[in-house]
Structure formats: C-alpha cells, structure tokens
Amino acid sequence: MNKAIIGKKLGMTQVFLNDGTMVPVTVIQAGPCTVTQVKTKERDGYEAIQLGFEEVSEKKLNKPQLGHLKASNTLVKHLHEFCLEDSSLAVGAKVTCDAFVEGDFVDVTGITKGHGFSGVIKRWNQHRLKETHGVGPVHREVGSMGPISSPSRVMPGKNLPGHYGVEQVTVLNLSVVKVDKERGVLLVKGAVPGAKNGIVYVRNAVKK
C-alpha cells in the first residue's frame, strides 16, 4: 500500500535498540494531515491525493486558498500532492503518523540549508591551491579555467562559485526506527535534508 505524509523536521537524536546498538535518528513531526483534494483519472488524467499540514487562522489565507480548502472544511498552511494509486482516502480524511510502522523504508524530501554565495571549496569540495611562491595572493580561488588558445572560453557546466543550498533533495531508503503515536512523531534512521522546523515530505520508498 502506498503511504505518504507531510511533516516537520524537529532535529536529530539517538536511540538504542534491544541489542544495545546505537542508531542516529531524525525526529519528524508527521501530521496530522487532512486530505484537501482527491484527483482521479476521469477528471484530472491521473490519480493523486493532496494533503494539507499545519493549521492556520483564516486571516492568513487569501480568497483563492479559502475557496480551495472549503471542501475539506480545514485551514492549513502547507499543501502537497502525492501520487497514491487506489487510495481509499476521501476529502476531509485525516492522515497520521501511524500510517507507517517500524521497519518501513521511506523516501524523505526537503529543502537543504542555505549557505549563501559560496566558493568552490565549500560548494564543490575542491582542493586549495598551493601556498608557495607564485600562487597567491588568493589560495581558495577557482584556479585554471582551461586552455587559453582553444576554446578560449569557459565551458558550460564548470564548477564555479555561486549560490549554495536551498534546493530540493530527496534521500532514499531510510528505515523507520520508531513510530510514536502519542507524540505524533516518526524516528527515521539517518539524516534528512533541511534545517530544524523545515517542512519535509515522507513517502514509502519507491526503489526498495
């Protein structure tokens, strides 16, 4: 069965298994989410479920958003669509963290931390230049760009300084270590992209 939920990254910690093994985990506040729209092949050309997460006051939404959320009778801040085929979920239904169980493998999507304008060492893991005579005065610069005579230009795709981070990244095949229904959180083994309190999308692993 396909499963998905919207959550918020709370941070990282560690848990100990029954055999004493220490496992680093990311704590994700998973849901509760409300089904705000159900798309079908007959009407939309494909099957999908739109979930809403994190309730907000009415004054923080505009008229188009209020009209869209009227059918589900809920006011949410974040919306995301998941391609869940043959789902029995209807508009207004609730999705909570207990949709997942311990041992499930999931894919987690999030927006990575922003690092601003970064050089090639931080952005592309390149080496420093030699700190000997004739190299300075800058030792963390890009270095040689290529031959001078031909093609006499920088080729497209070269790793250069620039904006680093703030891009969507998906980490595949992370195992669910624990599901805490009372607190509404998932403990997922390993790290997931994004900063604390960042929105993440959790779905069942597609390549497992």
CATH code, 57: 2.40.30.10
Are β-strands 76-82 and 117-118 bridged in parallel, bridged antiparallel, or unpaired?
A: unpaired
Residue 116 has pLDDT above 60, yes or no: yes
3-state secondary structure 17-37: CCCCCEEEEEEEEECCEEEEE
Residues 58 and 147 in one domain: no
Q: Identify whether residues 126 and 43 lie together within a single domain.
A: no
What is the average pLDDT across 146-166?
A: 87
So what's the pLDDT on residue 87? 66
Written as six digits, the tokens of 120 are 């090639």
Residues 78, 29: one domain? yes
Do 58 and 146 sit in the same domain of this protein?
no
Regarding whether 98 and 12 lie in a shared domain, the answer is yes
Please indicate, yes or no, whether residues 35 and 137 belong to a single structural domain of this protein: no
Instruction: Give which of 186, 199, 196 is closest to 3, Cα–Cα.
Output: 186
- Residue 2 has what pLDDT? 82
Phi, psi of 130 (to 5 degrees): -65, 140
Residues 124, 111: one domain?
Answer: no
* Number of independent structural domains in the chain: 2
Q: In terms of domains, do 53 and 14 share one?
A: yes
Point out the least confidently predicted range of 44-48, 108-112, 187-191: 44-48
Q: pLDDT above 90 covers what percent of the chain?
A: 41
| Cα–Cα separations (whole angstroms), residue 118 to 122, 141, 142, 160, 163 | 6, 11, 12, 9, 6
Q: Are residues 140 and 182 in the same domain?
A: no
pLDDT for position 79: 92
This prediction has a pTM of 0.84
pLDDT band, residue 58 (cuts 50/70/90):
confident
Task: Provide, rounded to the nearest whole percent, the portion of the chain with pLDDT above 70.
Answer: 98
- Is 139 found in the same domain as 62? no
Please report the pLDDT score of residue 1 as a whole number: 57
**Residue 181: per-residue pLDDT:** 87
Q: What domain range includes position 61?
A: 4-115+170-204
Q: Which residues share a beta bridge with 185?
A: 29, 180
Q: What is the pLDDT of residues 168-191, one digit of tens each?
A: 999 999 999 999 888 889 999 999
The number of C-alpha atoms within 13 Å of 192 and in the hemisphere containing its C-beta is: 36
Verify that 86 and 105 share a domain, yes or no.
yes
Mean pLDDT value across residues 132-148: 82
Question: Read out DSSP for the chain?
Answer: ---EEEEEEEEEEEEE-TTS-EEEEEEEEE--EEEEEEE-HHHHSS-EEEEEEEE--GGGS-HHHHHHHTTTT--EEEEEEE--TT----TT-EE-GGGS-TT-EEEEEEEPPP--EE-HHHHH-PPPPP-STTT-S-SSS----S-TTTT-SPPTT---SEE----EEEEEEEEEEEEETTTTEEEEES--SS-TT-EEEEEE-S--
* 79 shares a domain with 36: yes
